[in-house]
Amino acid sequence: MKTIKYIFVFLFFLSVGCVNNTPQPQQEKESLPKHKGEIKIKGAYALMPLVQRWINEYQKIHPSVLFNLSPVGTGEVLPEIFSDKTDLVLVSSELPDKLETTAWILPVAKLSVVMVVNKKNPYWSQILESGIKKDDLAKLFTGETAYWGDLFGEPGEHPVTVYFRSDQAGATDILSKYLWLEDQKMNGNGIMGENLLIEAIKGDPLAIGYCNFIYSFDPESKEFLDDIRIIPLDLNQNGRLDIKENFYEDFTRLHQAMWLGKYPCILNRPLQIVASQKPSTKELYDFLKWIIIDGQKIVSEMGYMQLRYSELQRCLSYIEN
């Protein structure tokens, strides 16, 4: 009897240990009406690469489902939510409080904002060793600190060139909150669009700027872009980059630090799919459910941060109920 009892206990724990933590598909909603025409998606540039990849992968198994994906600047996103010409809107900036009760909002991923310099910066070796304090970064972006040398005991050496997004951008909002600059303006050269901003920094050894993490590395090799380096942050502001703060050497370590919360969480922006009402066609329902169940496998691979298990469960329940 003891042998049988032990075998039963072993099989019980074995079955518990084999539970899959991935949200499981729910019952199909066959009663939903068919979608008329293409699924029309508009929204933030920050989400474009991920959603385009989701569409590509989804159409491999559902080739008959058609999509129309187009980018819209942050300032133009909100009006699209209630447009009858759009099915889904991609939002990467903070939503107005009133929208919480009037729109259907589905979190799908997270993305970090990073501050960058040119790799030929004359003080790069010192920056890499000590990091830069948040207070000093704020002074650099507002022009209060006008020379790189001021950070390292060499006043008046090498003037700082600040580049910032002149168009409305969620990344700017996130960085401003981190640096406590909501009531101050960045002082420098305004650039329209992320790609042009990065190109400007590549051509200027004394530049400083910022971007969404996904634009700082090559998506194939996962190597940081030539001529661009991510600024390490001296989080405790003690004038040196401690071991627990030093995770900037490659894509994998930095991306992991972002997901684990070692990188400042305030620099992580939520990415959401928003609609005027809960999607009511079968094609929309199936696609959104696929994003939460299977599409999350693609998120980390592309430099975004995957939702945690509890968040995925809530999202799945939100779609189903």
Domain parsing of the chain, residue ranges: 32-111+270-320, 113-267
270 or 11, higher pLDDT = 270
pLDDT band at 280 (very low <50, low <70, confident <90, very high): confident
Average pLDDT of the segment spanning 116-126: 95
pLDDT band at 21 (very low <50, low <70, confident <90, very high): very low
pTM for this entry: 0.81
Rounded Cα distance, 85 and 81, in Å: 9
DSSP 167: S
152 close to 126: Cβ distance less than 8 angstroms: yes
Whether 279 shows a pLDDT value over 60: the answer reads yes
CA atoms within 13 A on the CB side of 209: 34
Rounded Cα distance, 49 and 155, in Å: 42
Q: What local confidence, expressed as pLDDT, does residue 73 receive?
A: 67
AA identity, residue 306: Q
Whether 273 shows a pLDDT value over 60: the answer reads yes
Q: What local confidence, expressed as pLDDT, does residue 58 receive?
A: 95
pLDDT in tens, 180-239: 987 568 888 888 888 899 999 999 999 999 999 999 998 888 899 889 999 999 999 998
Q: Beta 88-91 vs 228-230: how paired, if at all?
A: unpaired
Instruction: Assess whether the region 32-111+270-320 and the region 113-267 belong to the same CATH fold.
Output: yes
CA atoms within 13 A on the CB side of 162: 19
Q: Which structure tokens are listed for 186?
A: 């960045």
pLDDT band at 75 (very low <50, low <70, confident <90, very high): low
Whole-number Cα distances in Å, 281 to 92, 135, 181, 185, 257: 25, 50, 43, 44, 39
Residue 79: what are its φ and ψ, rounded to 5°? Answer: -60, -25
| 151-181 burial code (b ≥16 CB/10 A, e <16) | beeeeeebebbbbbbbeebbbbbbbbebbeb
Rounded Cα distance, 111 and 23, in Å: 22
CATH number listed for the domain at residues 32-111+270-320: 3.40.190.10
Q: What local confidence, expressed as pLDDT, does residue 7 receive?
A: 40
pLDDT more than 70, % of the chain: 88
| 82-104 burial code (b ≥16 CB/10 A, e <16) | eeeebbbbbbbbebeeeeeeebe
Average pLDDT of the segment spanning 15-20: 37
pLDDT band at 249 (very low <50, low <70, confident <90, very high): confident
pLDDT in tens, 137-188: 999 999 999 999 999 988 888 999 999 988 777 788 889 999 998 756 888 8
Q: What local confidence, expressed as pLDDT, does residue 183 receive?
A: 58
Rounded Cα distance, 288 and 90, in Å: 13
Average pLDDT of the segment spanning 115-136: 94
Q: CB burial class (10 A; 0-12, 13-18, 19+) of residue 142?
A: middle
Whether 66 shows a pLDDT value over 80: the answer reads yes
CATH homologous superfamily, domain 113-267? Periplasmic binding protein-like II (3.40.190.10)
Q: What local confidence, expressed as pLDDT, does residue 295 receive?
A: 93
